[in-house]
Structure formats: structure tokens, C-alpha cells
């Protein structure tokens, strides 16, 4: 077996070239050691094989590896390696399975949880494509000509997303929604040279927290405008941008799953004071809902985790960031952009472009520090969207809206539950109010292998006025039987 490992040894002939010094290792065979010498070798580290290592060291004129580290002060080199045990693949897999079996996952359980991370169907072809080593093992496509596949796939992501959003320029991806929003705020501050960020109270609370963290760094201010307690939509009257407002933000559907009706009016008000208008959207909902481009948005951000991706405990996700074709905006846009280009022989191809905005060229004057993004997730989204098409996406949206309205009505018919709290059309998510303790309700649901809604008391200081509510979520993975199962279980609880 060891002999087989050294496939490059004895049988390989030296290079026919006259420069005999070139092929150091291919000229002579290796000694085969009679004892096991692979004690610390990994089965993907060829040169940890002891005889190879010796030859490499001898070439450098070293007896052992110590001289390789002679530039490190002696006092810094630890004589012992970190106290971590090593295991074989079999053991690691067994341990992992045992640990992970403590998670309750979809399949064994029914989930009605949303709130920024969603369970949607993942078509099989998406997994197949993203498992191709050419996509998942490659780096950022710095060497254009050898990386056309990834470049075109990401360009297609940008293009498909541009259609969904009705925007012209979409970047190659961001970490996730909240960081895309935070970077949109920084971008708006640069474009307008103003410091105030105006956000609605009915946005996702965690997203607002992330925005605050970024604004602490950028020395920006956050101010909120409120929402209608009966309808759940933003209160246009409470929106008062001023001469220092860099941007006005709106989420659609908002945190409560309510579809905002006055998205265009919010934008007009922002523009009237010279602020940028930023919309946060769920791209999937745009199979039916009005896109940000139609509502006058200057920048669109959002989450694409569920476009062919898994929830996987909240990451990796797919941050979306888009803007209009306006150089004032595009020059300040963060993140990588893929553009079309032509070769010397006239072949159409794709390159990373407008890189002078980016950190590896512009350093501290770059539009962002982002380098690693979520490209593979963007490729997954491209596969998903090109399989769906406009029809498929509309189909999925219909199922989601239908499920949502059905569940809302059925839950409302129960004694101790009231839904929805807001008298509006909902997409995927909605609030349910109850006099019962939600932790108790959810623990009873768990006996039926159901993970129920998200109690709003999780976000301590927020939404107190909405009473004892929980955010429920349904998507196309639920059929009518699943929905009835939840309704019956809730009936049993009350």
C-alpha cells in the first residue's frame, strides 16, 4: 500500500530534457520503509511522507526541519503541539453524527419558524451543480481566462437578480441581508455626505442591531419612524427626513410579513429631502410583489438564502445589494462586480470590473473591506432562478400566499388564538396573539414534533405594544395536511 502511494517513484522516467537538474524527485526511487512512518501524516499531505520530507530537507541543506523556523525567536516556539487529539475519518464521522443527532431538523420535525431565515424547497439540481469541484473549490476568479465558468455563473446571478429587482447593477453578493443593509447605509452616507439613517420600527430587530454596530464604526446616527398599530404598515406621517438624512429605509414584506402598500410614497418623501431610498426585500416574493425598481428605490438589499439554499442554522446566507445605473451610486457601491468583456479574438467573456472601488486596490479609500463574499450561494441562486423562471417563481409565491392566508384564517378560528393582528395581506409570515404563554404553547407543540412560531418577547424591548404574540411562518414546503396538523395541534393546546 505504501508502495502504491509513491506512484511518482521508480517507474516514472526522468524528463527527456537535457536540463537534468529539473526533476529532482522523479529521477530516483524512494526507499520503502518497513515500519509505519505515516504517524503524523495526513492522507492529503503527500510530502509528510518521511522519505520525501528528508529529500526536500536535504536539498535545502538541512538535517531536520528546525532551520526552516530559525527566523522565529526561540522563546516563541513551543516544544509541544496544541493539546488536541487526532482521529480517523471513521471516528470523526461517528462522533459528528452522534453530536448532530441532538438537533431537531426538518423531515423528522415540522417547522413553522421564520424571521429572516426560511425553509424553502431546494430543487435537486441546485445541490448537484454546487457540488461541482470547479465551483466550490475555486477561489475568487482573479485569473479571468481560466475562470470563465464562475464568472459567467455570477454574471448570470447578477442579471437574474437585476430582473427580479428591476435594478441595473447587482453586486456579486454580500454576507447576508443585515450586512448588505449596513453597507448600503455607509454607501448612502458617502453619496450624500450626510450622517442620519432613517429606519422603520417594523423592520427586523436583529437587522437594526447590525446596522447600529456598523454605524458605531462609521460615526453615523440611526433614527426610527413608526408603523400603524392596526395595519402593521409604516406610518407615512411619522416619516420626517431632514437635510442630514442620508437614507430612508423600508422593508417589504416587513418583519410581520405584512406587504407595505405605500412603498412608492416613502421613496418620494425620501427624495424630496435629497435622501437616498433603500428598500430591503425578499427576492422570492418578487415573483408577485412590486419590485424596488418600480417603487423608486436607489438601492435594494435583501436575503437570498432561500433561493436554492438551506437555512443551516442561519449561515451561509446570500446578501443581496443592487443599485440603479447611475455612476454617482455605482462608484460608491461596495463589493465585487462581474462585467462582460471581449477578448482579442472577439470572443465574449466575463471579468471582474470596476475594481478600483475595492480594498485590494484602493485600501483605506475603498468602498468596503469586503473580499470573501457568498459567491457559491449566488451561483446556487442563479441555478434556482433559471430553473424556476417567471412562471415557476409565481407558482411558488401563489402557494406561499395561499398557505399564509389559509393558516391565518384557520388559526383565527381557534378559541385562544387571534390572527392576524394586522388587517392586511401577508406573505409567508404573520403574527398570532394569544393569552397563553408561548413557551408553554411551543413546548406542547413539540410533543407532536412541531416547532412553533417565534415569540416576540425574544426581542425584549421591542414590540411590547403588540401584546403576547408569536411570528408564524409557512412556505411551499407545507401542504394542506401540514397546515391542518398545526391547526389541530394548536386546538389541542387551547
Q: Which of residues 143-172 bind other proteins (CB under 8 A)?
A: 143-150, 152-156, 158-160, 162-164, 168-170, 172
Q: Which of 236, 265, 341, 466 binds other proteins (CB under 8 A)?
A: 341
Q: Which of 214, 227, 255, 472 binds other proteins (CB under 8 A)?
A: 214
Tell the smallest beta-carbon distance from residue 360 to other proteins (Å).
4
Q: Judge contact between 118 and 459, C-beta under 8 A.
A: no
Site size toward other proteins, by CB under 8 A = 221
By CB under 8 A, residue 33 contacts other proteins: no
CA–CA separation, 406 vs 484, rounded Å?
A: 10
DSSP per residue, 152-215: HHHHHHHHHHHHHHT-SEE-S-BS-HHHHHHHHHHHHHHHHT--EEEEETTS-HHHHHHHHHHH
- The interface region with other proteins, picked from 189-197, 211-219, 272-280, 412-420 by CB under 8 A, is 211-219
By CB under 8 A, residue 479 contacts other proteins: yes
Return the number of the residue (178 or 241) whose C-beta is nearest other proteins.
178
Q: Judge contact between 302 and 281, C-beta under 8 A.
A: yes
CA–CA separation, 429 vs 238, rounded Å?
A: 25
Q: Which of 246, 320, 385, 456 binds other proteins (CB under 8 A)?
A: 385
By CB under 8 A, residue 339 contacts other proteins: yes
CA–CA separation, 159 vs 132, rounded Å?
A: 22
Tell the smallest beta-carbon distance from residue 240 to other proteins (Å).
25
CA–CA separation, 458 vs 60, rounded Å?
A: 61
Q: Judge contact between 245 and 193, C-beta under 8 A.
A: no
- The interface region with other proteins, picked from 224-232, 234-242, 272-280, 370-378 by CB under 8 A, is 370-378
By CB under 8 A, residue 186 contacts other proteins: yes
Return the number of the residue (132 or 223) whose C-beta is nearest other proteins.
132
List Cβ neighbours of 357 (8 Å cut-off, separation of 6 or more): 331, 332, 333, 334, 366, 367
- The interface region with other proteins, picked from 8-16, 224-232, 233-241, 414-422 by CB under 8 A, is 8-16
By CB under 8 A, residue 488 contacts other proteins: no
Q: Which of 240, 409, 415, 437 binds other proteins (CB under 8 A)?
A: 409
Q: Judge contact between 173 and 374, C-beta under 8 A.
A: yes
By CB under 8 A, residue 189 contacts other proteins: no
What residues from 279 to 338 belong to the interface with other proteins (CB under 8 A)?
Answer: 286-291, 294, 310-317, 325, 330, 336-338
By CB under 8 A, residue 440 contacts other proteins: no
Binding mask 34-73 for other proteins (x = CB under 8 A): -----xxxx-xxxxx---xx-xxx-xx----x-xxxxxxx
What residues from 80 to 99 belong to the interface with other proteins (CB under 8 A)?
Answer: 80-89, 92-93, 95-97, 99
Q: Which of 379, 421, 441, 487 binds other proteins (CB under 8 A)?
A: 379
Angle in degrees, 0-180, between the axes of helices 480-493 and 375-412, rounded to the nearest 10 = 50
Q: Judge contact between 234 and 227, C-beta under 8 A.
A: yes
CA–CA separation, 325 vs 131, rounded Å?
A: 34
CA–CA separation, 401 vs 404, rounded Å?
A: 5
What residues from 257 to 276 belong to the interface with other proteins (CB under 8 A)?
Answer: 259, 261
Q: Which of 121, 190, 195, 462 binds other proteins (CB under 8 A)?
A: 121
Return the number of the residue (198 or 210) whose C-beta is nearest other proteins.
210
Strands 169-170 and 319-323: antiparallel
CA–CA separation, 483 vs 428, rounded Å?
A: 13
Written as nine digits, the cell of 76 is: 516563541
CA–CA separation, 27 vs 11, rounded Å?
A: 9
Tell the smallest beta-carbon distance from residue 166 to other proteins (Å).
8
CA–CA separation, 335 vs 169, rounded Å?
A: 11
CA–CA separation, 340 vs 430, rounded Å?
A: 42
Return the number of the residue (39 or 272) whose C-beta is nearest other proteins.
39
What residues from 459 to 478 belong to the interface with other proteins (CB under 8 A)?
Answer: 476
Return the number of the residue (41 or 485) whose C-beta is nearest other proteins.
41
- The interface region with other proteins, picked from 6-14, 231-239, 243-251, 274-282 by CB under 8 A, is 6-14
Residue 64: other Cβ atoms inside 10 A: 9
**Element of type H or E holding 100:** helix 89-100
- The interface region with other proteins, picked from 122-130, 221-229, 233-241, 268-276 by CB under 8 A, is 122-130
Return the number of the residue (106 or 223) whose C-beta is nearest other proteins.
106
Ramachandran quadrant class, 359 (left: phi over 0; alpha: psi -120 to 50; beta: rest): alpha
Question: Which residues share a beta bridge with 234?
Answer: 227
Return the number of the residue (241 or 292) whose C-beta is nearest other proteins.
292
**Element of type H or E holding 330:** helix 327-330
What residues from 241 to 260 belong to the interface with other proteins (CB under 8 A)?
Answer: 259
By CB under 8 A, residue 32 contacts other proteins: no
Residue 264: other Cβ atoms inside 10 A: 15
Tell the smallest beta-carbon distance from residue 319 to other proteins (Å).
9
- The interface region with other proteins, picked from 239-247, 352-360, 413-421, 430-438 by CB under 8 A, is 352-360
Q: Judge contact between 436 and 416, C-beta under 8 A.
A: yes
Amino acid at each position: 500500500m505504501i508502495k502504491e502511494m509513491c506512484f511518482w517513484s521508480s517507474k516514472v522516467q526522468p524528463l527527456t530534457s537535457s536540463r537534468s537538474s529539473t526533476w529532482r524527485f522523479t529521477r530516483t526511487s524512494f526507499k520503502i520503509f518497513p515500519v509505519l512512518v505515516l504517524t503524523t501524516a495526513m492522507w492529503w499531505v503527500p510530502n509528510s511522507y518521511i522519505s520525501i520530507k528528508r529529500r526536500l530537507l536535504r536539498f535545502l541543506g538541512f538535517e531536520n526541519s528546525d532551520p526552516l523556523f530559525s527566523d522565529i525567536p526561540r522563546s516563541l516556539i513551543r516544544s509541544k503541539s496544541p493539546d488536541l487529539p487526532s482521529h480517523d475519518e471513521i471516528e470523526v464521522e461517528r462522533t459528528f453524527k452522534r453530536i448532530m443527532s441532538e438537533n431537531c431538523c426538518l423531515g423528522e420535525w415540522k417547522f413553522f419558524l421564520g424571521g429572516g431565515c426560511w425553509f424553502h424547497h431546494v430543487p435537486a439540481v441546485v445541490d448537484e451543480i454546487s457540488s461541482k469541484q470547479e465551483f466550490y473549490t475555486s477561489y475568487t476568479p482573479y485569473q479571468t481566462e481560466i475562470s470563465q465558468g464562475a464568472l459567467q455563473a455570477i454574471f448570470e446571478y447578477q442579471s437574474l437578480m437585476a430582473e427580479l429587482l428591476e435594478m441595473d447593477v447587482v453586486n456579486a453578493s454580500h454576507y447576508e441581508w443585515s450586512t448588505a443593509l449596513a453597507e448600503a447605509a455607509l454607501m448612502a452616507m458617502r453619496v450624500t455626505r450626510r450622517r442620519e439613517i432613517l429606519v422603520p420600527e417594523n423592520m427586523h430587530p436583529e437587522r437594526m442591531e447590525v446596522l447600529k454596530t456598523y454605524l458605531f464604526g462609521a460615526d453615523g446616527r440611526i433614527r426610527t419612524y413608526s408603523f400603524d398599530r392596526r395595519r402593521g404598515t409604516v406610518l407615512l406621517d411619522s416619516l420626517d427626513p431632514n437635510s442630514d438624512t442620508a437614507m430612508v429605509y423600508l422593508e417589504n414584506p416587513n418583519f410581520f410579513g405584512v406587504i407595505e402598500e405605500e412603498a412608492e410614497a416613502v421613496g418620494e418623501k425620501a427624495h424630496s429631502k435629497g435622501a437616498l431610498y433603500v428598500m430591503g426585500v425578499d427576492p422570492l416574493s418578487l415573483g408577485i410583489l412590486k419590485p424596488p425598481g418600480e417603487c423608486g428605490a436607489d438601492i435594494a438589499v435583501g436575503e437570498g438564502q432561500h433561493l436554492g439554499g438551506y437555512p443551516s442554522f442561519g449561515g451561509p446566507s446570500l446578501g443581496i445589494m443592487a443599485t440603479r445605473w447611475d455612476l454617482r451610486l455605482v462608484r460608491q457601491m461596495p463589493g465585487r462586480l462581474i462585467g462582460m468583456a471581449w477578448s482579442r479574438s472577439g470572443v465574449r467573456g466575463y471579468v471582474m470590473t470596476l475594481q478600483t472601488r475595492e480594498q485590494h486596490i484602493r485600501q483605506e479609500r475603498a468602498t468596503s473591506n469586503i473580499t470573501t463574499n457568498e459567491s457559491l450561494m449566488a451561483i446556487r441562486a442563479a441555478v434556482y432562478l433559471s430553473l424556476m423562471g417567471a412562471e415557476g417563481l409565481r407558482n411558488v409565491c401563489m402557494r406561499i400566499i395561499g398557505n399564509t392566508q389559509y393558516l391565518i384564517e384557520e388559526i383565527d378560528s381557534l378559541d385562544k388564538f387571534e390572527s392576524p393582528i394586522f388587517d392586511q395581506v401577508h406573505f409567508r409570515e404573520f403574527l398570532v396573539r394569544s393569552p397563553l404563554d408561548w413557551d408553554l404553547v411551543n413546548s406542547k407543540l413539540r410533543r407532536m414534533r412541531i416547532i412553533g412560531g417565534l415569540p416576540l418577547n425574544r426581542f425584549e424591548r421591542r414590540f411590547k405594544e403588540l401584546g403576547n404574540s408569536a411570528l408564524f411562518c409557512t412556505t411551499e414546503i407545507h401542504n394542506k395536511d401540514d397546515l391542518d396538523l398545526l391547526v389541530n395541534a394548536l386546538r389541542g393546546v387551547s
